[in-house]
Chain A
Amino acid sequence: MLRDWLYGYGMAATFYVAAVTLIYFCILFFSYRGIYGMLKGETYARFRSLSGSSYVPPVSLLVPAFNEELTIIDNVKSLLTLNYHTYEVIVVNDGSKDRTVEKLIEAFQLTPLESETVTYEIDCTEIKAIYHNPAYPRLYVIDKENGGKADSLNAGINFSHYPLICSIDADSLLEKDALIRMARVYMEDPGRIVAVGGNVRIANGCRIEDGVVKDVRLPRKMWPMFQTLEYLKAFLGGRIGWSHINGLIIVSGAFGMFRKEEVVKVGGYRDGYPGEDMNIIIKLHRYMLENKLPYKIAYSPDAVCWTQAPDTYRILSSQRKRWGRGNLKNMLENWDMIFRPKYKQFGMLTMPYNVIFETLNPYVKITGLLALIGYVAMDMTQWRVLLIYAIINFLTGYLMAVGSLVLEEIGFRRYPRMRDLFKMMGFSVLMFLGYYQLGVLWRLQGHIEFLRKNNTWGVMTRQSWNEDSATKSSA
């Protein structure tokens, strides 16, 4: 009896894994047309000229910064040279304990700005001072007490002058064209689009000069390499498909554009928990659907933001646990949206998919494995089931990896060398010998932390871009 049950559960878990892939490929298949349009639209748009067109709406870039003294100057310098006619860069110092503000003031000779008054449309910690220098007309620095990343974004929104806002992580570099590429997507349907997500890629291993990624290479270290493949899969494989059925559940906090009006209406970013980037998107979905407003959350895969991936186990695991916590919190908070026809594709498809295949994923996988181990322990002749389980797990993952590599090859070709392709194919296999399992474990640990009400940000350190490229070139 127990044996049958164990066996049945194990097989169910096996097919569960296969089903994830199947659903996902269905989405991808149905959105083929959309992907095609996305890619072609990019090919023939002349971004250089468009970026100077007075019809392109101005954008406020919001850069929350907490203890970023190593990289902030380079990053701001790079943000000031984007290919876009009118934009402002608002750095929000979130009560850093290091010399982030002082460094900014020194480097850009900033002085306090008194000629402007901030209206607090969204709640946020009080702003201590705003700094500006007329010689850098696009740059503003807001200094305020520590209040978290979401709070910093809200402060930035309150100060921002333009109708579009764009959140950017202080440890990321934007490509020169990234903003105009996003704006083009927005301009195609400005009445409905409330948010546009960008594509985040991993810069470890690339040569960076003057805040510009000059030479795209794969990372040399193991952890960033795995993450590169993971990001490729998530951003190209996942988000393109979801965006086509308007079911995107997250726009990366590292690079996303929003219509300010709607963000203000939903009360800005939520504080106190990680996962504020997913939270704002869920809130937007909810607001627009509840008020029966036409809307769209779009995705621009060619608007690229380069970020530094954690390259040690400690930082990576802490990041992933944080993500796990944020995801669980968001799912619990919005439990009511699941399977409610009122919330259309978001409630019927995106949320269930997220809960069943993302949040519950570690539980099903681990219990499935345990069930099968138990079953085999009772009858050693049945060892084949375990093997099947392992192979299915491996193949589904590899299939998704290959799918995203094909998309990359069709649309973007950022890694030009044949060697890079083989390396990516090879590492996609290696991922299953440990990295995947770790991912499942970290998520589980994140959930446990959530239940134990552990709500710290965890470890996070930065390395400066210069140092990175210097060591890379000398290596």
Chain B
Amino acid sequence: MTKPLEASKWHEKMYQAYVEQYWLAEENERTDCGIILVRIERSWGETMQAIRAIVEPEDGVAVREFAEADRHRAAFLLFGASWNRSHYTALRIKRLLAKMADGAYSILLAGAAEQAERNPQFFEALSDLFEQAPLDPNLILFHELYQSNETQSVLLVDSDEEVRRYLQLRLQMKGYRVLAAGDGKAGLDLFRQEHPDMVITDLNLSGIDGFHFLIRMHREDPDAKSKIVVFTDNREEDTISRCFKLGVADYITRPFSPVELEARIERLL
């Protein structure tokens, strides 16, 4: 493992390695890079050994490691690893840590941002956020922590926790600020307070009748500054046309195609 002398700080090292790798690769070979940060408070040496066994380089993936034993932290840069593979590797490391480090650890997964080679601040923000994060037995996804204020906001109103969780995850990964509500009342309150750029709502809510929810939002926001997308099981044509009359921007039925859903959401934002 080569360590360039001129960079001293952790995030600077990461940035340097990233830039090196970026310029080394041919233009058409520049691929994704997964970043896994870990902090281990107990039995450092042993655990690191075990982690290395997991992140061993395999076909098409180059691994760079930046460990700081005194600060109990290490970074792994997985060049060429897709988001899928990085996530799975992080998942395995997390399971290992849960067994070996007994709660005294934290782990963060990030993907190199767009044009990270020109942006040293990205790595700095990453390590700062990780530094501030408390010890947490769960795998932290970087985009859950990192939110700039200029991003557009999306309000999710759905009584199904699974769907809410999925959309929240996906939209956060796309960089939106996501607000979630489990029922109509909470949804309406959030709508009033936050004026989100988009509302994704089910028609089948508890607390408020779905149509009435749409009408209330329409009343609060007659110019339709917030785009409203209905995402529901209701496939009845009369319902669909009635929703469009109520100023809905799009109507998506379940079962759904996640790619199509995201495309239709992005088209409106």
Interface residues of A, Cβ cutoff 8 Å to B: 48-49, 51-54, 77, 80-81, 83, 85-86, 135-138, 176, 210, 212
Task: Determine whether B235 belongs to the interface, using a CB cutoff of 8 Å to chain A.
Answer: yes
**With A51-B233, A210-B183 in contact, do A176 and B215 touch (Cβ < 8 Å)?**
no
Asked if B255 CB lies within 8 Å of chain A CBs, one says yes
Tell me whether A136 and B235 are in contact (CB under 8 A): no
B220 to chain A, nearest CB (A): 13
Is A81 in contact with B233, judged by CB distance below 8 angstroms? Answer: no
Determine which of B185, B235, B242, B255 lies in contact with A54 in the assembled complex, contact meaning CB atoms within 8 Å. Answer: B235
Q: Is A52 a contact partner of B233 (Cβ separation < 8 A)?
A: yes
Given the contacts A138-B211, A210-B185, A210-B207, A49 and B254 also touching, CB distance less than 8 Å: yes
Is there contact, CB below 8 Å, between B206 and A81? yes
Taking a contact as CB atoms under 8 Å apart, the answer to whether B208 and A137 are in contact is no
Convert B219-240 into 0s and 1s, putting 1 for each residue whose CB lies closer than 8 angstroms to a CB of A: 0000000000000111111110
CB-based contact B255/A135 at 8 Å: no
Tell me if B201 is interfacial: C-beta within 8 Å of chain A.
Answer: no
Establish whether residues A176 and B233, one from each chain, have CB atoms under 8 Å apart when the complex forms: no
Query: Does B206 lie within 8 Å of A176, measured CB to CB?
Result: yes
Give CA–CA (A53, B234) in the complex, Å. 6
Q: Which of B160, B206, B209 has the most CB of A within 10 A?
A: B209
Given A52-B235, A53-B235, A210-B207, verify A80-B212 contact (CB < 8 Å).
Answer: yes
Given A135-B215, A137-B242, A138-B211 in contact, is the A51-B204 Cβ separation under 8 Å? Answer: yes
Q: List 27 A-B contacts (CB under 8 A).
A: A48-B160, A48-B204, A51-B233, A52-B204, A52-B232, A52-B233, A52-B235, A54-B237, A77-B207, A80-B209, A80-B212, A81-B184, A81-B205, A81-B210, A85-B234, A85-B239, A86-B236, A135-B212, A135-B216, A137-B211, A137-B242, A138-B209, A138-B211, A176-B206, A210-B206, A210-B207, A212-B206
Chain B positions within 8 Å of A86 at CB level:
236, 238-239
Which residues on the B side are within 8 Å of A212 (C-beta)? Answer: 206
CB interface residues, B 158-185, toward A, < 8 Å:
160, 183-185
| Minimal beta-carbon separation of B246 from chain A (angstroms) | 10
Shortest CB-to-CB span from A335 to chain B, Å, is 47
**Set of chain A residues within 8 Å of B255, measured between Cβ atoms:** 49
Write out the residue numbers on chain A whose beta carbons fall within 8 Å of the beta carbon of B209.
Answer: 80-81, 136, 138
CA distance A320 to B239 in the complex (A): 44
Contacts of B204 in A (CB 8 A): 48, 51-52, 81, 83, 176
In residues 137-166 of chain B, which contact A (Cβ within 8 Å)? 160
B interface residues, tally (CB under 8 Å): 27
* A430 to B133 CA separation, bound complex (whole angstroms): 58
- Give the Cβ gap from B159 to chain A, nearest Cβ, in Å: 9
Closest chain-A Cβ to B104's Cβ sits at a distance in Å of 36
Question: A-B pairs with CB below 8 Å: how many?
Answer: 57
- Are A52 and B234 in touch, CB under 8 angstroms? yes
Apart from the given pairs A80-B212, A81-B205, A83-B204, 17 other A-B contacts in the complex at a CB distance below 8 Å: A48-B233, A49-B255, A51-B234, A52-B233, A52-B253, A52-B254, A54-B236, A80-B209, A81-B209, A81-B210, A85-B239, A136-B211, A138-B209, A176-B204, A210-B183, A210-B206, A212-B206
A52 to B255, CA, bound (A): 11
Q: Bound state CA distance, A137 and B208, in angstroms?
A: 13
Tell me what chain A mostly uses at the interface: helix, strand, loop, or mixed. loop
The answer on a CB contact under 8 Å between B206 and A85 is no
Nearest Cβ in chain A — how far from B164, in angstroms? 14
Count chain B CB atoms within 10 A of each CB in A52, A86, A137, A212 and give the residue with the most. A52
The CA of A77 and the CA of B210, in the complex, are separated in Å by 12
Residues from chain B with Cβ under 8 Å of A77 in the complex:
207
Tell which of A54, A81, A83, A136 touches B207, judged by Cβ atoms closer than 8 Å. A81
- Give A77 to B208 CA distance when docked, in angstroms: 7
* Alpha-carbon gap, A85 to B255, bound state (A): 16
- In the complex, A106 Cα to B237 Cα: how many Å? 32
Q: Let me know if A49 and B206 touch, CB within 8 A.
A: no
| Chain B residue contacts of A85, Cβ below 8 A | 234-236, 239
In the complex, what residues of B have CB within 8 A of residue A80's CB? 209, 212
List, in ascending order, chain A residues with CB within 8 A of B215's CB.
135
| Chain B residues whose CB sits within 8 angstroms of the CB of A135 once the complex forms | 212, 215-216
- Name the residue of chain B whose CB is nearest to the CB of A76: B209
Measured in the bound complex, the distance between the Cα atoms of B206 and A137 in whole Å is 17
In the assembled complex, how far is the CB of residue A96 from the closest CB belonging to chain B, in whole angstroms? 24
Closest CB of chain B to A238's CB: distance in Å?
A: 32
Residues of B contacting A176 in the complex (Cβ-Cβ under 8 angstroms)? 204, 206
Report Cα–Cα, A83/B238, bound state, in Å: 16
In the complex the two chains form, what is the Cα distance from A373 to B176 in whole Å? 82
Q: A81-B209, A138-B209 are in contact. Are A49 and B185 (CB under 8 A)?
A: no
Query: Which residues in A have their C-beta under 8 angstroms from that of B237?
Result: 54
Residues of B within 8 A of A137 (CB): 211, 242
CA A81 to CA B232, docked complex, whole Å = 14
Set of chain A residues within 8 Å of B206, measured between Cβ atoms: 81, 176, 210, 212
Q: Which listed residue (B207, B233, B238, B242) contacts A49, Cβ 8 A? A: B233
B239 close to A81 (CB less than 8 A): no
Please indicate which of the listed interface residues B206, B208, B211, B238 has the most CB atoms of chain A within 10 Å of its own CB: B206
* CB-CB nearest 8 A-B residue pairs: A52-B233, A80-B209, A52-B234, A85-B236, A54-B236, A210-B207, A135-B215, A85-B234
**Measured between alpha carbons, how far is A83 from B204 in the docked complex, in Å?**
6
Q: Which residues of A contact B233 (CB under 8 A)?
A: 48-49, 51-52
Complex CA–CA separation, A81 to B205 (angstroms): 6
Pick the most buried of B207, B237, B239, B254: most chain A CB atoms within 10 A of its CB. Answer: B207
Q: Specify which chain B residues have a CB less than 8 angstroms from the CB of A53 in the assembled complex.
A: 235
Chain A's closest residue to B207 (CB) is: A210
Residues from chain A with Cβ under 8 Å of B216 in the complex: 135
Task: Write out the residue numbers on chain A whose beta carbons fall within 8 Å of the beta carbon of B211.
Answer: 136-138
Q: Which residue of chain A is the closest to B209 with respect to CB atoms? A: A80
Instruction: Please name the residue on chain B nearest to A137 by beta carbon.
Output: B211
A138–B253 alpha-carbon span in the complex (Å): 21
Q: How far is the CB of B206 from chain A (nearest CB, A)?
A: 6
Q: Shortest distance in angstroms between B222's beta carbon and chain A's nearest beta carbon?
A: 14
**Alpha-carbon distance A176/B206, docked complex (angstroms):** 8
Nearest CB of B to A171, in Å = 20
CA–CA, A377 to B131, complex, Å?
91
Residue of A nearest to B240 (CB): A54
Contacts of A49 in B (CB 8 A): 233, 254-255
Q: Determine which residue in A51, A135, A176, A212 has the highest number of CB atoms from chain B within 10 A of its CB, and name it.
A: A135
